[in-house]
Amino acid sequence: MSWDFSTDPEFQEQLDWMQDFVRREIWPLETIWRDLGGYEGLREALAPLQEQVRERNLWAAHLPPELGGQGMGQVRLGLMHEILGTSPIAPLAFGNAAPDSGNSEILALAGTPEQRERWLYPLLAGDLKSAFSMTEPHTAGSDPTQLQTRAVRDGDEWVIDGRKWFSSNGSIADFLIVMAVTDPDARPKQRASMFVVPRDTPGVEVLRDVPTMEHPWEQFGAYGGHAEISYNSVRVPAEALLGGVGEGFVIAQQRLGPGRIHHCMRWLGVARRAFDMMCERVTYRHAHGSLLADKETVQNWVADSAAEMQAARLMTLHAAWVMDTQGARAAAVDISLIKFYGAKVLHDVVDRALQVHGSLGYSTDMPLEQMYRFARGARFYDGPDEVHRQTVARRILAGYAPPPGEVPSEHLPTRREQARERFAHLLGALTAND
Ligand X SMILES: Cc1cc2nc3c(=O)[nH]c(=O)nc-3n(C[C@H](O)[C@H](O)[C@H](O)COP(=O)(O)OP(=O)(O)OC[C@H]3O[C@@H](n4cnc5c(N)ncnc54)[C@H](O)[C@@H]3O)c2cc1C
Nearer to ligand X, 122 or 384 (CB): 384
Q: How far apart are CA 187 and CA 194, in angstroms?
A: 16
Q: How far apart are CA 260 and CA 255, in angstroms?
A: 9
Nearer to ligand X, 140 or 419 (CB): 140
- The string of DSSP letters for 357-412 reads THHHHHSTTSTHHHHHHHHHHTTTTTS-HHHHHHHHHHHHHTT--PPGGG--TT-H
With beta carbons less than 8 A apart as the criterion, state whether 77 and 261 touch: yes
Nearer to ligand X, 76 or 226 (CB): 226
User: 132 - beta bridge partners?
Assistant: 177
Residue 122, H or E segment: helix 121-124
The least distance separating ligand X from the CB of residue 101, rounded to whole angstroms, comes to 12
The least distance separating ligand X from the CB of residue 313, rounded to whole angstroms, comes to 23
CA 411, distance to chain mean position in Å, is 43
The least distance separating ligand X from the CB of residue 380, rounded to whole angstroms, comes to 4
Nearer to ligand X, 255 or 352 (CB): 255
CA 71, distance to chain mean position in Å, is 19
Beta strands in 157-242 (DSSP E): 157-168, 175-181, 192-198, 204-209, 226-237, 241-242
Nearer to ligand X, 252 or 265 (CB): 252
In the bound state, the residue with its beta carbon closest to ligand X is 141
With beta carbons less than 8 A apart as the criterion, state whether 304 and 341 touch: no
Nearer to ligand X, 235 or 373 (CB): 373
Nearer to ligand X, 140 or 307 (CB): 140
Q: How far apart are CA 80 and CA 262, in angstroms?
A: 9
Nearer to ligand X, 166 or 175 (CB): 166
Nearer to ligand X, 73 or 384 (CB): 384
Nearer to ligand X, 145 or 390 (CB): 390
Q: How far apart are CA 271 and CA 427, in angstroms?
A: 58
The least distance separating ligand X from the CB of residue 372, rounded to whole angstroms, comes to 14
The least distance separating ligand X from the CB of residue 317, rounded to whole angstroms, comes to 24
Nearer to ligand X, 76 or 260 (CB): 260
Q: How far apart are CA 202 and CA 160, in angstroms?
A: 11
The least distance separating ligand X from the CB of residue 56, rounded to whole angstroms, comes to 29
- The string of DSSP letters for 124-161 reads HTTS--EEEE---TTS-TT-GGG---EEEEETTEEEEE
The least distance separating ligand X from the CB of residue 266, rounded to whole angstroms, comes to 13
Nearer to ligand X, 69 or 144 (CB): 144
Q: In this structure, how many other beta carbons lie within 10 angstroms of the beta carbon of residue 355? A: 15
The least distance separating ligand X from the CB of residue 229, rounded to whole angstroms, comes to 10
The least distance separating ligand X from the CB of residue 177, rounded to whole angstroms, comes to 9
With beta carbons less than 8 A apart as the criterion, state whether 165 and 228 touch: yes
With beta carbons less than 8 A apart as the criterion, state whether 114 and 92 touch: no
Q: How far apart are CA 125 and CA 120, in angstroms?
A: 9
The least distance separating ligand X from the CB of residue 300, rounded to whole angstroms, comes to 29
The least distance separating ligand X from the CB of residue 356, rounded to whole angstroms, comes to 26
The least distance separating ligand X from the CB of residue 374, rounded to whole angstroms, comes to 8
Q: Is 411 left (phi over 0), alpha (psi -120 to 50) or beta?
A: beta
- The string of DSSP letters for 93-108 reads HTT--TTHHHHHHHHH
Report the chain's C-alpha Rg in angstroms: 26
Write out the residues near ligand X by the rule CB under 6 A. 99, 132-135, 140-142, 166-168, 226, 377, 380-381, 384, 386-387, 390
